Amino acid sequence: MIELILSERCIACGTCAKVCPDDVLRTDAAGEPVIAHKEDCQTCYLCELFCPVDALYVSPRTAPDPTVDAAALIAAGLIGSYRRELGWARGRPGGTETDLSYRMHEAFTEPFGEIWKRSGI
Amino acid sequence: MSESTLHLTADVLVIGGGPAGCWAALAARRAGASVVLAEKGYVGTSGATPPANTTLFYTVPGDRLQNDGMVDHRVAPAKGFIVRDFVRRVYDETTVNTELMTRWGYPWPRNETGKTFRGNLRGPDYMIFLRKRLLAEGVRILDHSPALELLTADGVAAGAAGITRRTGDRWEVRAGAVVVATGGCAFRSGVVGTHNLTGDGYLLAAEAGARFSGMEFSGQWALAPAEGGLTKGIIYFSGSFSDADGTPIPHPAVPDALAAGRSVHAVLDRADPYLEDGYRKGQPNIFVYFHRLGGNPFKDRYPVRLLYEGTVRAAGGLDVDERCATSVPGLYAVGDATTREKLTGAAMSGGGPAVAWCIASGTWAGQAATAFARQFAAGAAGLAGRPVQPIGGAGLRPAAKPDPERTAEAVTRAVQQEILPLDRNYRRTGAGIAAALERLDGLWEAARDGLAPPAGATPRDVVRAREAAALVATARWILASAGQRTETRGLHRRADFPGLDPAQHHHLLSGGLDRVWVRRADPHEEAVAA
């Protein structure tokens, strides 16, 4: 679930509230995001992905996570880690071209793995 | 709440902006229709696809190994109903449309031999790509704008009305044809990507008289790490399972072990470094859990649980014909909102086939809806003056005095108590189904009569009430169908009828609101032969 909005990083662009699929985030009068309905957070990390400045943290736990500690997460390099793994930057898609998922499909039992190995068009 | 209403007209209205809705809107636009796409969340992040990295099946022109292999592969798990020619049509249509994506600039990855690999669509990238294409093609997108009810004109679908959740403004779209692309229903079980998949489109369509097929094939449960919600099954091709003491459990026995209350642990110990790299760099969404909480899933055992995916990755849904038309004139359905029995039979549909189905069904429905709008509704110009009727009931217009105790939250919890407990629902019994149905029938009556947004309701309250009604209705079509199939076949598991009964090689159609009905329909000819 969404646990942190790092206000010192937030630039109040409103993107996280705009892209949240179920209205968990709203913006206040100053344009800063607030967690309005945490119970509706589905732990999809998409707000993190679209955030241009890594100002959000979603715990992978689907229940509220009392262990979340901003300083420790920053020190461990975990803020924005999903975005970096995918290759997105500044809220823009990137990294699809280096997706290695074909290796998983190759591992299917034959002849399916063989089909995928040669399946390029 | 604001009282203003946005009035729009379009040849085609698409309700739902996941991949199937996007492809329907694109196909309708390319066929020359004016198109409005109304999405409950945000087109690009909403639904099952954006948080995922999805497998995609397709055929390759002239490659017999690829084509026959792809199609034949579906036959055994389908346990009947599959129609080979239909599977091939779906995969062929997908090939054509992935070619379009290439022309539009989709950055396909390449494998070690330098060939592009189209067997995967990374959810967020794919959906933002489609969003940009929709805007470039001139589709009018309404984000955060759930449809609350259909509009009909003499029994023909003629548009929909809804609400914009951010402002409370109402919207109404008069349309020559309507495409339901609202996805499946996972009953808010906690699966990532399914929170707003609550069967809304099923309820809208059923109120217009549409019917369902294969709702009993909805027993789709998927593994997730014990504290997480991401249900990606592909890693378990390389997994081993054991109980708390370390005693091995074969993969197929895992659900029953969990249903019996045993603790089950997984470890992905069968992946070599080449494949481990493929998993980690292909599915980062899976590994963010371990990265952030600690532990190495390729070496360390971790506890798992099963989460209910309902009809999202299952087979059942709205019954549609070859053009994706429902039984209601002018009303089409696509993607996970539809039955996928002809494609995957009684087996799960996601991802490869389901992702292809979103592309193919969206394309076919977009084309057919455009033709319908032109032929029967005289185009957008004739739409505005057509007398239409709003037909939404339960959760929107209570049949009796609103009951303040009957909140959306209470109704949702009551449905979940019937449909989510693993011990009663992974394998169902006739007695258990009958008792649950009786309670759900009572819940439906109470919701129909008394469920309504409270005085001073927020837009969220309005939407939640309607979603709660859809959850009750969906649970009843599922359980009524499950009660009529006295055998175990694919995703339909009966503890009291553990074997497959060849005499039950028929479809089960269902529908109805106050009175839920189920009846048999013959399977497709080719399916009998198979």
Task: Quick: pLDDT tens for A31-64.
Answer: 999 999 999 999 999 999 999 999 999 999 999 9
How many Cβ contacts (< 8 angstroms) between chains A and B?
Answer: 192
* Assembly ipTM: 0.97
In b/e form, how buried is each residue of B422-450, taking b as 16+ CB within 10 angstroms? bebbbbbeeebbeebbeebbebbebbbbb
- Flag whether pLDDT at B100 surpasses 50: yes
Closest residue in A to B122 (Cα–Cα): A96
- Each residue of B125-157: pLDDT tens digit? 999 999 999 999 999 999 999 999 999 999 999
Residue A72 three-state SS: helix
How far is Cα B118 from Cα B99, in angstroms, rounded to an integer? 10
* Cα dihedral A14, B14, B514, B415 sign: negative
Query: Which pLDDT score is estimated for A72?
Result: 97
Three-state secondary structure call for residue A89: strand
CB contact at 8 A, B177 and B379: no
3-state secondary structure (DSSP) of residue B42: coil
pLDDT at position B377: 66
- Taking an 8 Å cut-off on Cβ atoms, the answer to whether A96 and B292 are in contact is no
Please state, in angstroms and rounded to a whole number, the distance separating the CA atoms of residues B310 and B232: 15
In terms of CA atoms, which chain B residue is nearest residue A72?
Answer: B292
The minimal CB distance from A99 to the residues B44, B109, B229 is found for: B109
Rounded to 5°, the CA angle B504-B344-B313 comes to 110
Distance from chain centroid for Cα A84: 9
Distance from CA of A55 to the nearest CA of B (A): 16
The answer to whether B341 and B507 have CB atoms below 8 angstroms apart is yes
Decide if B278 and A104 are in contact by the 8 Å CB cutoff: yes
Angle at B122 between CA B118 and CA B125, to 5 degrees: 110
Minimum-distance CB partner of A49 among B119, B124, B271: B124
Residue A107 has its nearest CB partner, among B65, B70, B275, at: B275
Q: What share of chain B is helix, strand, coil (3-state, %, to 5)?
A: 40, 20, 40
Q: Of B436, B153, B199, B415, which is closest to residue B318 (Cα–Cα)? A: B199
In chain B, which residue's Cα lies nearest the Cα of A27?
Answer: B166
State chain B's mean pLDDT as an integer: 94
B194: nearest CA in chain A?
A: A42
Q: Are B444 and B477 in contact (CB under 8 A)?
A: no
**pLDDT(B530) > 90:** no
Q: Under an 8 A CB cutoff, do B227 and A40 touch? A: no
Q: For testing the chain A interface, which of B74, B94, B111 should be mutated: the one with the most A CBs within 10 Å?
A: B111
- Beta-carbon neighbour count of residue B92 at 10 Å? 17
Judged by a CB distance cut-off of 8 A, whether residue B67 touches chain A is no
Q: Do the Cβ atoms of B44 and A59 come within 8 Å?
A: no
Cβ–Cβ < 8 Å for B12, B115: no
Q: Which residues on chain A are in Cβ contact (under 8 Å) with B230?
A: 43, 60
Cβ pair A21:B69 closer than 8 A? no
Q: What region, left, alpha or beta, does residue B514 occupy, with left being phi > 0 and alpha being psi -120 to 50 degrees?
A: alpha
**Most B CBs within 10 Å, among A106, A115, A117, to test the B interface:** A115
- Residue B307 bridge partners (DSSP): B222
- Kindly tell me if the per-residue pLDDT of B381 is higher than 70: no
Share above pLDDT 70 across residues of chain B, in percent, rounded to a whole number: 97
Is residue B428 pLDDT above 50, yes or no?
yes
Cα–Cα distances (Å) from B450 to A105, B276, B447, in that order, read 50, 54, 5
Contacts of B323 (CB under 8 A, 6+ apart): B332, B364, B365, B367, B368
Region of poorest pLDDT, from A111-115, B7-11, B201-205, B510-514: A111-115
Residue B402's Cβ-count burial label (10 Å; 0-12, 13-18, 19+) is middle
Mean pLDDT, residues B8-29: 98
pLDDT digits (tens, 9 = 90+) for B432-478: 999 999 999 999 999 999 998 878 899 999 999 999 999 999 999 99
First-to-last alpha carbon distance for chain B, in angstroms, is 57
